[in-house]
Chains A and B, each alone.
Chain A
Amino acid sequence: MKIFDITVIGGGHAGLEAAYVASQFQLDVSIITIPGIQLASAPCNPSVGGVGKGQVVRELDSLGGAMGFLADKAGIQFRTLNESKGFAVQSTRVQIDKEQYSIAAEELIDSIPNISVIREKVLTILKEEELFVVTTTVRSYRTKKLIITVGTFLNGKLHTGNEQTIGGRVDCESSSGLRDLFTEIKTRPARFKTGTPPRLNKSSIDYSKLEEQPSDSSVRNFHGLHEPFFRSIKQVSCYLAHTNERTMEIIRDNKERSPMFNGQIKGVGARYCPSIEDKAYRYPDKNVHHVFIEPEGLELDTMYPSGISSSLPKDVQLSYVRSIEGLESAKIEVYGYAVEYDVIDTTELSLALEHLSIKNLYFAGQVNGTSGYEEAAGQGLVAGANAALSLLGLSPLVLSRHESYIGVMIEDLTSNTRDEPYRLFTARSENRLFIREDNSILRMYPYRAAFTLNTALDVYQREFIEQYGIVDRFCDETMIPEGSELMFEFSGDEDLQKILRRMSVSELLRQGWLNPVKTLERILTFHSISIPYDVVRAVAIAKKYDGYIKRSESQLEKLKKMDGTRIDWSEISASKNISFECRQRIQRIKPETFGQLKLIEGIRPATLAVVAAKAL
């Protein structure tokens, strides 16, 4: 019987990245996925990227992942979010054609000879000496490394009103409980919940009443090797609608029919991705919420109304949708639903995402309690790369939280038990000014280089780093003379200002009144230096933030010392000087460091002060 080097169970975003990166090491890889679902399908929102997530896609791309490449291929609307708020928090988001995205994924995997795709349902997993035996409905497979990326399919249960079906998503069967699959793995007692909105018929919407958001042609593609601004397929618009008083009234009037609020759903959803019921009941004074109407594909006749995910009964869904201006005669093609599923306890995983007590077993994606395609993909790549690196005897890929959002996520996941689905956002990073989209190659290059591969991507990144060094030195060494007439040209945009004293280009780029990227471009052009735009942009933004990053690093040093202090949660939760409520939270979350304690929602400063005194 053939023995695979690495087997990935699950063909979603995590599974795809795991298999794709592992295949680059020339290992024998297989993906076992439930029949009837295409690879990397997008069961929820038809978009890739977003605030914080765009950074993850770039990190993936720089590490040799597939997500950026696929999103470019299937991208039908490109936008930069937070464009007016500063470079560090700007993120790219691409609306994707869901069909095209999966087609591109299938084609990509098809083109790789050392990945086998097995479309069978897994029944059991056994450990046999050093190997895992995965038995499907058809036969058994042996593998040295096993990566589990089963998403929401573990004990999945769907809810629409009081209709309940077993499954990981609509019209798909669910995997059995993890307990049946693999008796040694502990799942968390609490289940998680996520949801999705009803899908609307494309031609039943009155677009004239909605605000149009066209695609932005100035947004750079995700994949480094792609032509920066080339679009593979036709570009279309998204539309903005708003809920109103009537919408929210309908939802509030039907509270007792909501599975989330009448006790039918026990799982915990993310506060950061609330359903429309959550919004209605939790913010009774607020009636106007944004609803983004996003195309699911060029050929698909459905639109995805982002912001109104719901598990209310079908009649309620239809009536609140139709209360929204522009959606008065909307037809619902697929009703919204909530899904409850099992997740594993990620504190039992290492930073390489390997199980601490069962060696050679890895977990990635939504089964680890995260939400979002990007989060799943980020973990998938880390798990896949580590499985491969470990087989080859190379050191593991452990991304620092100070250098990447993927690192932030994995450290957060493995160090702390969460009581809701984990979503990345920029506030989770202490080093936001440094972890940007523009410098992902700079940040990821050392990690990618440690794979010791020599692909086109590696050649491209080496060149990037070399050119970055050249421009960086140029900025430090080139002096701008005081009051030179040329200087007027160097000021950003329309705003003309004279340089009052001699300074280096680096120093000039720190000035708040100019656009550092445009300014550096002009200076380089003046000196007849031709450097790719990506490099210029990365250096210019780095120069702008230089002082701020140094300052925040010194503040971080102080905080890190305190935050890293180990605490004994069991002792703290027994302390009478701490309020009962805080003690309960501490017992549930079990923080191990002062920093983790601080992150717990609802921990009063009084508690922090009391604990800090002990930690001194």
Chain B
Amino acid sequence: MSFLYSDESIIACSTSSHTHAALAVLRISGFKAPSDFNSFFCIDLGPIEPRRVYYTNLIDGDAVVDDICLTYFKGPNSYNGENILELSVHGNTLNIERILELFIHKGGCRSANPGEFTYRALKNRKLTLSQVEGLDLLLNANSGYALRQGRSLLSGNLQEIYQDLYELFVKHKASLEMSIDFSEDIGEGQAREHYESTLLEFQKKFQTLIRRVQPLEFNLVQPEIILVGLPNSGKSSLFNILLADDRAIVSSVAGTTRDYLSEFLVVEGVRYKLVDTAGLRESSDHIEAEGVKRSKKKLKDAFYSILLINPLEMVDGFDDLMKGEFDKIYFTHSDLINFETEKLKLIAEFPKLGSIGAINLNSPKIFWEEDLYKDINKKYLITTSKEPILLERHKSLILQTAEVLKCYVKAAHSETDVAILSGELNTLGHCISELIGIVSPDEVLNSIFSNFCIGK
């Protein structure tokens, strides 16, 4: 695989190193003995006890670089099975950089690649593939649900379901093979009965899994609330009201927001990305057109979408817009004259708009904001109550397994050549093996680790 494995010592900052902070944690992994680094510390690391915190000075020659706390984790009883040294240093970014460079230039360490610590944990059998995926999820989660699922994957919960499924597959496979190799010993009727009951058992177990995978699933790892509407419908105003600041440039000239702006918005403990899109209309301006294209894509992936309509300024493209599905539709500019008549006209034309609230963006937001947040949270609760599986690789493998299973079940009833049937069953087994991580193509590993942050 292209993720090259070498057993050199690696170093990285495992906490955020982009902003100043009180503390930062640096990790060094893969060295032979802690005393290799004796020249950098005021204490002798030879006799230090693992899992104990030592306070000491970090030195470069005669100069004291920082005063630090260090903890030694002795392999294999460490995160990734290797010897690990964890240094808690002062969290000034410049300080962090200086210390990293010290170890790289004078300590024989190499700067770690993204996910390299965890990759070594996988190599050393401290984690399975799906635990690694869980960790990735855990570290990137923006919703409590994703956080939970990450944890749960890390502790191997989902893996257990896959393993049960694998065992049921093996049992079913055995029943098929038995009917070929021991047909005389067990008799046709019994063989068939066993074959059907094991298939049913497998299907039943698989049902619990497929229920957790919907082909059109919202992104719950980075859930987004997206604002859409024709140009000048008030998207940027709403964006600002919700965030209560002036981040978006609000202008009355249509087509100002070419790309999209986003900010985090926390609703009931879930961190959403609030996205203000470019106005959705066909445009001759190719930069704007590109923005429109991106908006449409964003709309598809969004967790929650809000459509804004200014009934006084209806332009071409509205029909097209109305084809989409929205969680919420608001009429804006209710303070203007003719609002009511225009609104009624529009509702007559698009019955779908039905009983939709209208907001006056200049009026105090207490009237509608509460309702909006409740609605967003309701959707969040409903969606997460189905316990959807969030990992893309797992989702697509489960869907693929569902397809293969469908073909197989069909063949189970029509194919009389058992040898061919057994071949079909192998395809099913292959899918489950991938799910469980028994067979995993190199590209899977590459894509997982390329997501990882450096230092993990």
* A contacts, CB < 8 Å to B: 51-52, 81-82, 84-89, 272, 289-290, 292, 307, 425-427, 432-433, 512, 545, 548, 551-552, 555, 558-559, 562, 575, 577, 598, 604-606, 608-614, 616
Question: Which B residues touch A427, using CB under 8 A?
Answer: 177, 180-181
B281-317 contacts to A, CB under 8 A, are: none
Question: Which A residues touch B204, using CB under 8 A?
Answer: none
Q: When the two chains form their complex, are residues B166 and A307 in contact, meaning their CB atoms are under 8 A apart? A: no
Query: Looking at the complex, which one of B125, B181, B419, B439 makes contact with A611 (CB distance below 8 Å)?
Result: B125
Q: When the two chains form their complex, are residues A290 and B184 in contact, meaning their CB atoms are under 8 A apart? A: yes
Q: When the two chains form their complex, are residues A609 and B436 in contact, meaning their CB atoms are under 8 A apart? A: yes
Q: When the two chains form their complex, are residues A609 and B129 in contact, meaning their CB atoms are under 8 A apart? A: yes
Apart from A88-B417, A610-B125: 7 A-B pairs, beta carbons within 8 A? A51-B182, A52-B181, A272-B182, A290-B187, A548-B423, A609-B130, A613-B123
Can you list 27 contacts pairing A with B, beta carbon distance less than 8 Å? A52-B181, A85-B180, A85-B416, A85-B419, A86-B417, A88-B417, A88-B420, A89-B419, A289-B185, A307-B185, A426-B177, A427-B180, A433-B420, A558-B439, A604-B167, A605-B163, A605-B166, A605-B167, A606-B163, A609-B129, A609-B163, A610-B128, A611-B125, A612-B129, A613-B129, A614-B123, A614-B124
Q: When the two chains form their complex, are residues A613 and B125 in contact, meaning their CB atoms are under 8 A apart? A: yes
* Contact A432 B436, CB 8 Å, known A52-B181, A577-B125, A610-B125: no
Q: When the two chains form their complex, are residues A87 and B180 in contact, meaning their CB atoms are under 8 A apart? A: no
What's the Cα separation between A605 and B171 when bound, in Å? Answer: 13
Q: When the two chains form their complex, are residues B423 and A613 in contact, meaning their CB atoms are under 8 A apart? A: no
* Contact pattern, B 414-456, Cβ under 8 Å of A = 1, otherwise 0: 0111111011001100100000111111100100000000000
Q: When the two chains form their complex, are residues B125 and A616 in contact, meaning their CB atoms are under 8 A apart? A: no
What's the Cα separation between A62 and B180 when bound, in Å? Answer: 24
Look across to chain A and name the residue whose beta carbon is closest to the beta carbon of B434: A558
Size class of the B contact interface (CB-based, 8 Å): 35 or more
What's the Cα separation between A432 and B417 when bound, in Å? Answer: 12
Q: When the two chains form their complex, are residues A608 and B180 in contact, meaning their CB atoms are under 8 A apart? A: no
Look across to chain B and name the residue whose beta carbon is closest to the beta carbon of A576: B76
Q: When the two chains form their complex, are residues A613 and B437 in contact, meaning their CB atoms are under 8 A apart? A: yes
Question: Which B residues touch A608, using CB under 8 A?
Answer: 436, 438
* Contact pattern, B 111-152, Cβ under 8 Å of A = 1, otherwise 0: 000000000001111111110000000000000000000000
Is B183 in contact with chain A by the CB < 8 A criterion? Answer: yes
Q: When the two chains form their complex, are residues B181 and A87 in contact, meaning their CB atoms are under 8 A apart? A: no
Shortest Cβ distance from residue B173 to the other chain A in the assembled complex, whole angstroms: 9
Q: When the two chains form their complex, are residues A605 and B419 in contact, meaning their CB atoms are under 8 A apart? A: no
The 6 closest A-B pairs by CB, nearest first: A86-B417, A88-B419, A425-B181, A427-B177, A85-B418, A605-B163
Q: When the two chains form their complex, are residues A86 and B418 in contact, meaning their CB atoms are under 8 A apart? A: yes
What's the Cα separation between A223 and B426 when bound, in Å? Answer: 34
Question: Which A residues touch B436, using CB under 8 A?
Answer: 605, 608-609
Q: When the two chains form their complex, are residues B422 and A432 in contact, meaning their CB atoms are under 8 A apart? A: yes
Look across to chain B and name the residue whose beta carbon is closest to the beta carbon of A90: B419
Q: When the two chains form their complex, are residues B163 and A555 in contact, meaning their CB atoms are under 8 A apart? A: no
Query: Looking at the complex, which one of B179, B417, B442 makes contact with A87 (CB distance below 8 Å)?
Result: B417
Question: Which B residues touch A433, using CB under 8 A?
Answer: 419-420, 423
What's the Cα separation between A608 and B128 when bound, in Å? Answer: 10
Shortest Cβ distance from residue A553 to the other chain B in the assembled complex, whole angstroms: 11
Q: When the two chains form their complex, are residues A612 and B440 in contact, meaning their CB atoms are under 8 A apart? A: yes
Query: Looking at the complex, which one of B185, B419, B427, B437 makes contact with A86 (CB distance below 8 Å)?
Result: B419
Is B1 in contact with chain A by the CB < 8 A criterion? Answer: yes
Q: When the two chains form their complex, are residues B423 and A551 in contact, meaning their CB atoms are under 8 A apart? A: yes
Shortest Cβ distance from residue B430 to the other chain A in the assembled complex, whole angstroms: 6
Shortest Cβ distance from residue A292 to the other chain B in the assembled complex, whole angstroms: 7
Q: When the two chains form their complex, are residues A575 and B125 in contact, meaning their CB atoms are under 8 A apart? A: yes
Shortest Cβ distance from residue A346 to the other chain B in the assembled complex, whole angstroms: 22
B224-275 contacts to A, CB under 8 A, are: none
* Contact A612 B438, CB 8 Å, known A84-B416, A88-B419: yes
* Contact A616 B440, CB 8 Å, known A89-B180, A611-B125: yes
Is B80 in contact with chain A by the CB < 8 A criterion? Answer: no
Look across to chain A and name the residue whose beta carbon is closest to the beta carbon of B181: A425
Shortest Cβ distance from residue B46 to the other chain A in the assembled complex, whole angstroms: 27
The CB with the most chain B CB atoms within 10 A, among A84, A88, A558, A613, is that of: A613
Shortest Cβ distance from residue A472 to the other chain B in the assembled complex, whole angstroms: 21
Shortest Cβ distance from residue B446 to the other chain A in the assembled complex, whole angstroms: 11
Q: When the two chains form their complex, are residues B126 and A577 in contact, meaning their CB atoms are under 8 A apart? A: yes
* Contact A555 B426, CB 8 Å, known A88-B419, A609-B129, A612-B438: yes
Question: Which B residues touch A611, using CB under 8 A?
Answer: 125
Shortest Cβ distance from residue B15 to the other chain A in the assembled complex, whole angstroms: 27
